[in-house]
């Protein structure tokens, strides 16, 4: 397991809603090219953590750095997105009336960095990128299908593909396999695993399905009451008495 140095630092972050600490002194480091899974019971703070990284929620204290140069707490949501931090929400939000190809085209056009230079030559590059993303996501055969007729799994992969159009450096993925068949889950495991790596993306997956987490994660972070309860391999954390208590107790 080769490590390439951190890409994301969350340090001593706390955020309260009406005096309730949804995130409580959270520390998290994600390495460049890493595939990390975040698990934790409902209310553990997983969504709030993603909201903080993407600039949707501002913490009361602490710091969040992207690489060593970018202080994310000093940046707006669009500025953070333009650094290459992409987020996929649980429900797919593809444009159902447009084809798969058109959805990917639109995802590229939505990139403010590309728009001013959209020349004929750029368009060729966009087309090449779409072909790459179609291949990566296994959607080549569906390119001319309206997104509305895709299976649930295919819609999720298309939405991941839309994020990939902008060549992100960090992908935050919320419950990707909720509602998927076994086969779709296997394909999603392959896809997410193939996306992570040096020179590719770092991928952070929040997921409830433990079988799925076990199938993809090298490192699992367990959140509980807004902070890290345990971190390590799936085997390590699942044997941790603190983790067992949180999941089985109550
Ligand atoms: P998870 O995603 O792990 O289920 P959340 O981050 O959604 O957890 O929520 C953490 C805690 O913070 C929960 O107790 C939730 O009720 C609370 N919370 C989250 N967002 C808000 C908000 N905007 N206002 C008030 N409470 C919130």
Query: pLDDT per residue over 100-138, tens digit each?
Result: 999 999 888 765 455 545 554 567 888 899 999 999 999
Check whether 2 has a pLDDT greater than 50: no
73 and 55 inside one domain: yes
ipTM, 2 dp: 0.95
Of the CA atoms within 13 Å of residue 235, those in its CB half-sphere come to 1
Q: How far is the CA of 226 from the centre of ligand 1 (A)?
A: 9
The per-residue pLDDT for range 167-216, each reduced to its tens digit, is 999 999 999 999 999 999 999 999 999 999 888 999 999 998 889 999 99
At residue 247 the predicted structure's pLDDT band, cuts being 50, 70 and 90, is confident
Output the pLDDT for position 125: 83
3-state class (DSSP) for residue 234: helix
2 and 79 inside one domain: yes
At residue 1 the predicted structure's pLDDT band, cuts being 50, 70 and 90, is very low
The residue to mutate among 45, 208, 221, having the most atoms of ligand 1 within 8 angstroms of its beta carbon, is 45
For residue 191, tell me if it sits in a domain.
no
- Distance CA(71)–CA(55), nearest Å, equals 11
Q: How far is the CA of 204 from the centre of ligand 1 (A)?
A: 19
Ligand 1 atom 24 nearest Cα: 17
Ligand 1 atom 26 nearest Cα: 17
16 and 71 inside one domain: yes
Instruction: Please state whether 179 falls in left (phi above 0), alpha (psi between -120 and 50) or beta.
Output: left
Tell me the whole-structure pTM to 2 decimals. Answer: 0.92
25 and 44 inside one domain: yes
Q: What is the DSSP letter of 241?
A: H
- Distance CA(235)–CA(65), nearest Å, equals 29
75 and 100 inside one domain: no
Chain centroid to CA 145: how far? 26
The boundaries of the domain holding residue 61 are 1-84+169-179+201-250
Q: What mean pLDDT comes out for the span 228-236?
A: 95
């Amino acid at each position: 397991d080769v490590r390439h140095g951190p890409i994301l630092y969350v340090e001593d972050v706390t955020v309260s809603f009406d005096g309730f600490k949804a995130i409580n002194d959270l520390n998290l480091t994600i390495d460049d090219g890493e595939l990390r899974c975040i698990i934790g019971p409902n209310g553990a703070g997983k969504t709030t953590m993603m909201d903080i990284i993407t600039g949707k929620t501002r913490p009361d204290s602490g710091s969040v750095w992207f690489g060593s140069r970018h202080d994310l707490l000093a940046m707006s949501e669009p500025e953070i997105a333009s650094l290459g931090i992409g987020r996929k929400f649980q429900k797919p939000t593809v444009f159902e009336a447009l084809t798969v190809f058109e959805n990917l085209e639109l995802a590229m056009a939505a990139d403010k960095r590309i728009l001013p230079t959209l020349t004929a030559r750029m368009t060729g590059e966009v087309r090449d990128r779409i072909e790459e993303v179609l291949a990566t996501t296994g959607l080549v055969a569906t390119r001319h299908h309206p997104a509305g007729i895709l299976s649930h799994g295919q819609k999720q992969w298309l939405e991941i593909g839309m994020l990939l159009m902008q060549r992100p450096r960090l992908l935050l993925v919320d419950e990707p396999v909720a509602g998927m068949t076994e086969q779709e889950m296997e394909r999603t495991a392959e896809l997410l695993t193939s996306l992570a790596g040096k020179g590719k993306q770092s991928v952070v997956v929040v997921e409830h399905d433990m079988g799925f987490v076990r199938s993809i994660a090298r490192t699992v972070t367990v959140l509980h009451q807004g902070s890290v309860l345990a971190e390590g391999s799936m085997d390590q954390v699942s044997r941790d008495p603190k983790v067992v208590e949180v999941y089985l107790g109550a």
